[in-house]
Chain A
Amino acid sequence: MSVETQERKLTAAGLPANLNDRRAPLWWGMLGLITVEAVLFTSLIASYFYLRFYAAEWPPGGISKPHLLLPAIGAAILITSSFPMAWADASIKRGNTRNLMVGLALSFVLGVAFLTLKFVEYSGYDYNWATNVYGSITWTIVGFHSAHVIAVLLKVAVVFAAAARGYFSAERNLGVRINGLYWHFVVVAWIPLFFTLYLSHYVF
């Protein structure tokens, strides 16, 4: 039996099939994943401050406080990337595949720019994860977050490829919205991490 017949028959019983909105199980599944990851990032931040307040000086071992300019530009770029993603999401709800693809591509480029800046910044430091515990925790936090950015970039690439084949439409766009939700999470997660890694040195 084809899927279309199946759906007609079920819809006839008075209920819609597979809602595309926040009542979809997949939406809740993605919220579950995001919660898990949020707890993971929270644990990283808690570990950072635990180690910081355990240490006599911070950063230890003569490492200087990080400069703010480059990381601030990176953070601004990453936050900006959420806007084209939201626009892409809104576009496909109206059935506009072209704008969907433009939005995805813009976000993708901004995500790559953020990663490039991180790479430039970290290759400029004269300490690494094996230097001391400050190096360990900062490199681990940045590594974790960058791995998330890479993962979500790959995800966007896949959604883009599906969009290019005309898969998404005004009715069928749950994949885009779930992907967008995760993108926004990776962006928002960077805000407390940015505070932890950079601003906190100057605040207290």
Chain B
Amino acid sequence: MTTSAAEEYKTSATGFSALSALTAVDHKTIGMRWIVTAFTFFVMAGLLALTMVTQLSRSGQDLLSAEVYNQFFTMHGVTMMFYFAVPIMLGLGLYFVPLMIGAREVAFPRLNAFAYWVYLFAGVALWISLLLGRAPDAGWFSYTPLAGPTYSPGVNVDLYALSVSFLEASNLSAAVILIVTILKMRAPGMAINRMPVFVWSLLIISFMIIFAMPPLMLGTIMMALDRIVGTHFFRAAGGGTSFLWQHLFWFFGHPEVYIVAIPAFGMVSTIIPTFSSRRLVGYLPVVLSHVLIGIISFGLWVHHMFAGELSVLAMTFFAAASMSIAIPSGTQVFAWISTIWMGARPRFRTAYLWAVGFIPLFVIGGITGIMVAAPPFDWQVHDSHFVTGHFHYVLIGGVVFPVMGILYYWFPKMTGRLLDETLGRWSFWLTFGGFNVAFFTLHYTGLRGMPRRVHTYMSGQGWSTPMTITWLGALTLGAGFALTLLNVVKSIRRGEPAGANPWQAGTLEWSVSSPPPAHGFDTIPTVTSRTPLWYERITEAGRRGPYRLPEDDRVTIGTSILDGEPEQWLLVAGPSIAPLLLAIGGTVAFYGALISLWLVPVGGLMAFGAIVLWNWPGRNREREQSS
């Protein structure tokens, strides 16, 4: 590599040529790609949902055939869970964690680029299948034997199994990057008990990803093997069992809910103190709640299987474990309420509205969660609209609302411009109202016996009127989100200039200009509190400290894990085409299996070549030291 470090920063952050776009590794560039891609999937999956609810708005409609409806609800679930919810958290983390902890880069920038490409390719492959009418159609948890080769002979479920397996490689890479970045690259003085809560939440979910996603990856690989080379893991005729799939899936699937919920909690813990002008009440209990939720979430996957064959003892255990998670969740709710209560008069900006609106929705979703955690109640409502209503309260109310809040909160930092407040308020209230109308009603239709995943129903069952109400609510909800999209499009060019710290927030990302300069921090700050901008008055102009770095060096500082004692300078890897080549090799190996099994080793060899190119020691020592 002959480019100097200065050129590397330029090519990775500001210049736009085809090559620099393909070799970019800067965490802000890549993080922005994660965020934009995730929101794109969110919009597409949301449009599928609007089509489905239109189909169900009255009895006996034929807007969608049963086959297409199956593909739509499967793609809606798969996209929202795997391609929106997790990636948006990881993307925001990869963008903002270095800025919040005072580092110039993530630990492994090239791995970050690789993870993004894999995410993109796995998503594009899946969505092409929908355009071709061959999308997965066995639901997002794709139960066998329905999803086995006998009952789903087409390519549809193959694409599910391969895409999910491949995508996990991306999530696992991002998790390792975040863990090492957070543990080893915090600013001097940022002991682990001074980390922002959002950073804590990402640290915890990264560990959860590492323990939850490999079993899923194994499960989806087994599913692909069953379907493509004739193994018998989930096929009763050869001695296998569908329960193995259910265990592998839900051992991942339940932590998954918290993998997306914990960062959402972290976002609320970020927004509420800023607009209450007060540090978070109960930092320690809130962080411990995150840790506790992370641990308990691995002990309750079987509650998704209450309708299967289980002993009473197992059901009792998993019911109790499921209910116990309400304790750490409730602790946080009280911390947020106390922060609002004890803070200054809150500033009701749009970001704050989303964060506060989240609280009642999350509480409702939590309470219906405790209801379905009781096996007898679960049997009654299992696979009905009640469950659909419950988890949309958790996932839209509990996850999407904080994400929208953080979008309004961090958009000025990412683009340098404020989002429009009037449009923001309209967007919030339409979404809040529409959401409750649509999804509260689903609990009712569920209790009236309406099953989920039916493409139509007969009249005279008392479902038509509530489903029409749900439809109207959903349209309002959609309009609310559309206003935010409009707001983003409008404000990105013509929004009011934001300045470095428009909300007078206390954490380090607000000490750099908006948008952040390509190199991040001029001086790696030294911190002595949890909100350095409030307590130490670190400002753009007045930052002092021994760790002033030249602007053009891809270098940051490495510190000790617990106390944040400075240990070393870290030279960080620069742009490279190898991550893209590796992702292409992986794509050939995974999806090639559908065409010919010989493409698997071919893709493997391409991947090997890319790894050698990636790591081969060049003239520049940076390339050896960090990938």
Inter-chain contact B569/A16, CB cutoff 8 Å: yes
Residues of B within 8 A of A44 (CB): 218
A192 close to chain B: CB less than 8 A: no
Inter-chain contact B626/A25, CB cutoff 8 Å: yes
Inter-chain contact A132/B568, CB cutoff 8 Å: no
Residues of A within 8 A of B233 (CB): 47, 51, 133, 136-137
A17 close to chain B: CB less than 8 A: yes
Interface residues of B in 544-587 (CB under 8 A from A): 546-547, 550, 552-553, 555, 557-558, 560, 566-571
C-alpha gap A100/B109 in the complex (Å): 30
A6 close to chain B: CB less than 8 A: yes
Fill in one digit per residue for A7-37: 1 if any B CB lies within 8 Å of its CB, else 0: 1011101111111000111101100110111
Inter-chain contact B185/A132, CB cutoff 8 Å: no
B380 close to chain A: CB less than 8 A: no
Fill in one digit per residue for B588-627: 1 if any A CB lies within 8 Å of its CB, else 0: 0000000000000000000010001001110011101111
Inter-chain contact B571/A35, CB cutoff 8 Å: no
Residues of B within 8 A of A154 (CB): 608
C-alpha gap A26/B240 in the complex (Å): 40
Residues of B within 8 A of A135 (CB): 231-232
Interface residues of B in 264-306 (CB under 8 A from A): none
C-alpha gap A136/B237 in the complex (Å): 13
C-alpha gap A10/B626 in the complex (Å): 17
A69 close to chain B: CB less than 8 A: no
Inter-chain contact A25/B546, CB cutoff 8 Å: no
Q: Contact check: which of A9, A17, A158 meets B568 at CB < 8 Å?
A: A17
C-alpha gap A201/B180 in the complex (Å): 41
B230 close to chain A: CB less than 8 A: yes
The interface size of chain A toward B, counting residues with CB under 8 Å, comes to 54
Inter-chain contact B624/A175, CB cutoff 8 Å: yes
Inter-chain contact B624/A174, CB cutoff 8 Å: yes
Inter-chain contact A51/B568, CB cutoff 8 Å: no
A120 close to chain B: CB less than 8 A: no
C-alpha gap A26/B181 in the complex (Å): 11
C-alpha gap A101/B161 in the complex (Å): 42
Tell me how far the C-beta of B194 lies from the nearest C-beta in chain A, rounded to whole angstroms.
Answer: 20
Residues of B within 8 A of A15 (CB): 557, 566-569
A-binding segment of B24-32, B209-217, B407-415, B474-482: B209-217
C-alpha gap A11/B570 in the complex (Å): 11
B5 close to chain A: CB less than 8 A: yes
A116 close to chain B: CB less than 8 A: no
Residues of A within 8 A of B622 (CB): 3
Closest partner residue, chain A, to B568 (CB atom):
A19
Tell me how far the C-beta of B526 lies from the nearest C-beta in chain A, rounded to whole angstroms.
Answer: 13
In the complex with contacts A23-B568, A36-B210, A39-B215, A133-B624 CB distance below 8 A: no
Inter-chain contact A136/B180, CB cutoff 8 Å: no
Residues of B within 8 A of A35 (CB): 210
C-alpha gap A23/B558 in the complex (Å): 8
Residues of A within 8 A of B608 (CB): 154
Residues of B within 8 A of A25 (CB): 107-108, 180-181, 184-185, 558, 570, 626
Fill in one digit per residue for B217-244: 1 if any A CB lies within 8 Å of its CB, else 0: 1100010010001111101001111011
8 A-B pairs, CB-CB below 8 angstroms? A3-B571, A19-B567, A23-B568, A32-B176, A51-B241, A54-B241, A130-B230, A133-B233
List 14 extra interface pairs beyond A23-B568, A26-B626, CB under 8 A: A3-B622, A15-B568, A18-B625, A23-B567, A33-B176, A39-B215, A43-B248, A47-B248, A130-B232, A132-B238, A133-B231, A133-B235, A136-B231, A158-B615
Query: Which 3 A-B pairs rank lowest in CB-CB distance, beginning with the nearest?
Result: A32-B176, A133-B239, A136-B231
